[in-house]
Amino acid sequence: MLFNSYAFIFFFFPVVLIGFFLIGHRSARLAASFLGLASLFFYGWWSVEALPLLLGSICFNYWAGLRLTQAPDRTDRGRKRMLVFALVVNLGVLAIFKYANFFLENVDVGLQAAGLTPFSMVKIALPIGISFYTFTQIAFLVDCWQGKVHERSFVHYLLFVTFFPHLIAGPVLHHAQMMPQFANPATYRFNPDKVSLGLAIFVFGLGKKLLIGDPLGQYADLMFNGVHNGVAPMVNSAWVGVIAYTLQIYFDFSGYSDMAVGLGLCLGVQLPLNFNSPYKSTNIVEFWRRWHISLSTFLRDYLYVPLGGNRKGPRRRYLNLFITMLLGGLWHGAAWTFVLWGALHGIYLMINHVWNAKVRRDRKPGRIAHLLGWALTMLAVMIAWVVFRAESMHAATLIYKGMLGLNGTAGSIFSEFGGVPYRKSDFFNTLLAGLFIVLVMPPTITLQRWVPQAQALLGRPRLAWIFPPVMAFATVILLGVCVSKLGSYSPFLYFQF
């Protein structure tokens, strides 16, 4: 069940929203149970076959968490062994379902190269959302071991893991962000301000996905799929296709994150910010503080810092950065293209830190330096997006050659792929709208601050009453436009991770 579907917008979410607050008026615990069961239904709609794995993971990790927080007579060494055991189980399950096919495929390549008979492989289906709910629970276990967890309600833990706005594609949540909200009685009381604001944020995210991300994705797919089928892109097509994908993945994933925040807010739950205008970044370090913030924070707290962070000298710091990004790339997918994507960003971060330490130091960059830094950052990000999206290393190489003009420079955009199936004016209008939003507009999640900022800009606080109805009218109009685009199956890009 997609957020951008009739079933979700007109059936599932209204029923859950109304039922949650009707039950919450009588019992907060029953409302939490209802929301947990609704979240399991939401996941089961996607894949009933994967539901037992999710429930098994939840039960195992809840049990492990209790063992780590209880039993005061256990030694520190015993608790550490328990933590290691639980982490090995979680990572082992993730490795089997996500990386077994990748490992066996590479073994087969090696066997064929050696002239031996390859395996007869059985493909293992990837359960949707397994990376996100596994990382969420790994963070929970580490927090238990560190003594940060005091909530022991199974209902709240079930809801923490399965809360449907974030279950399939994040954000990656921390126990401390969610459990106090589930324990707060105010969460289960209807708040019209939160619901109206949440609906507005949801609709804005829906617009990002349907009105900008999906149309640009048609052009990106035309180029990337054509290259996968053996067509070498010329310079115009290569650059336009890469730019289209650069904006598509932003609006697709940012739109999902906005919708998740909006849905959570309607239900009285505040999810963390996951995007903070990352394409405004003037260096790659800043980019990773703004892009997929929940994953960046997880990798920093549970991988980079345990590896030693920056506490063991510059060389070790650079190595830790590289390893962290390499594994971050592998987390996104079981393919060498994702490994290379992570390696590229690891190298980018190393260069950025060396530049800051040896060249820029504490000097404040001027306007020209900011502009050059932004241009270089965006170029580096787009170069890395090529291998992130490409189906193979060979396809990525063809695109890089096209970007350098090595495949030819003649012809109009996408002429080598049979021409553009859509009006070019529509494409460039969408492209310009997308660039304006990512480079000028603030993040959608800051919507609650737009009204006072507009009032301050106009200098007329008495006009405050105008903004809520104007915002409501704009939200309704945008929702109507989005609903007119529903109907075709258009999953979010990060569902595959």
Catalytic residues: 332
Residue 385: which of 252, 232, 208 has the closest Cα? 252
* E strands, 336-494, in order: none
Position of tokens 């069940």? 1
| Residues ≥6 apart with Cβ < 8 Å to 185 | 28
The CA R_g of the chain, rounded to the nearest whole Å, is 24
| Residues ≥6 apart with Cβ < 8 Å to 362 | none
Q: What is the DSSP string of 218-256?
A: HHHHHHHHHHHTTPPPPHHHHHHHHHHHHHHHHHHHHHH
**Helix (H) or strand (E) run with residue 430 in it:** helix 424-439
- Structure tokens given for 10: 């007109």
Find the DSSP H helices in 126-234: 130-145, 154-162, 164-167, 175-183, 192-207, 214-228
- Residue 266 contacts residue 199 (beta carbons within 8 Å): yes
Q: How far apart are CA 202 and CA 195, in angstroms?
A: 10
Residue 143: which of 172, 182, 165 has the closest Cα? 172
